């Protein structure tokens, strides 16, 4: 039995023509007028300084409208432009160990970090603290490379004390103008391991990979 679709095609054609007419009458004409107005009053305006001023005002208005739409869809107050301050009870104090610039000793400091809901996030925060170094002294020479953390994960039973915390880093290069402290990389590894193990009790080993490859030097002497 064949289905006669001629009636459906006729209805679809009629709806298409009505939609086309609606577009021509209600949308196309106003859009063309707006484009013409923008071109005449802004893009083709003869005086240079005034044209630039109008372009800046137009872009500012567009950015403001975009921001208002974002606030509307995310249910945010338009004046709430600053990130929320983490409540004190959601922070915790940790002991961190940082490599010193002599390549031999470690500095111990107390820091406050957010109280995360997972150990891998805590490990990432501890990594960033060790990389940045001391907040009291300039220890940037102890970590001369800009280390970028790709991924961190923990292997093993979280109830035990023998989990392995793995940090996977992007390959980095040390500029020729940066001075490198002898033994700084080995000291950085020890400081990171001591920091992670002390603050995440289930971790017993810390590994550093460079794009998935273990044992590669992070920076050359």
**pLDDT at position 6, please?**
61
Instruction: Tell me which residue has tokens 């240079």.
Output: 48
Whether 20 and 43 map to the same domain: the answer is: yes
**pLDDT at position 67, please?**
86
Whether 104 and 210 map to the same domain: the answer is: yes
- 17 or 196, which is more confident? 196
Q: What's the pLDDT band for 206 if we cut at 50, 70, 90?
A: very high
Which residue segment(s) compose the domain that 23 sits in?
6-74
Whether 49 and 115 map to the same domain: the answer is: no
143 has pLDDT over 70: yes
Whether 112 and 31 map to the same domain: the answer is: no
Whether 43 and 107 map to the same domain: the answer is: no
4 has pLDDT over 70: no
Whether 43 and 134 map to the same domain: the answer is: no
98 token code pair: 């940082």
Whether 126 and 208 map to the same domain: the answer is: yes
Burial of 168 (0-12, 13-18, 19+ CB in 10 A): middle
Alpha helices in the chain (DSSP H): 6-22, 29-38, 48-74, 119-132, 184-199
**pLDDT tens per residue across span 83-107:** 666 555 678 899 999 999 888 899 9
- pTM check: above 0.75: no
Whether 55 and 115 map to the same domain: the answer is: no
The last residue of one of the domains, among 74, 98, 133, is 74
């Amino acid at each position: 039995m064949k289905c006669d679709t001629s009636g459906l095609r006729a209805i679809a054609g009629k709806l298409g023509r009505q939609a086309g007419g609606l577009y021509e009458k209600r949308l196309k004409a106003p859009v063309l007028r707006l484009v013409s107005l923008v071109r005449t009053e802004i893009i083709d305006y003869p005086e240079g300084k005034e044209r630039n001023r109008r372009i800046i005002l137009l872009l500012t208005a567009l950015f403001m409208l975009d921001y208002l739409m974002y606030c509307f869809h995310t249910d945010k107050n338009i004046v709430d432009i600053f990130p929320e301050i983490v409540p004190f009870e959601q922070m915790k104090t940790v002991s961190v160990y940082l490599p010193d610039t002599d390549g031999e000793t470690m500095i111990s400091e107390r820091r406050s970090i957010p109280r995360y809901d997972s150990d891998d996030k805590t490990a990432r925060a501890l990594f960033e603290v060790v990389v940045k170094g001391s907040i009291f002294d300039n220890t940037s020479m102890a970590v001369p490379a800009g280390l970028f953390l790709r991924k961190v994960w923990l292997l093993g039973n979280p109830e035990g004390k023998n989990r392995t915390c793995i940090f996977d880093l992007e390959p980095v290069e040390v500029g020729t103008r940066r001075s490198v402290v002898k033994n700084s990389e080995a000291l950085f590894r020890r400081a990171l391991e001591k920091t992670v193990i002390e603050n995440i009790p289930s971790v017993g080993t810390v590994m550093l990979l460079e794009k998935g490859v273990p044992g590669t030097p992070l920076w050359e002497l």
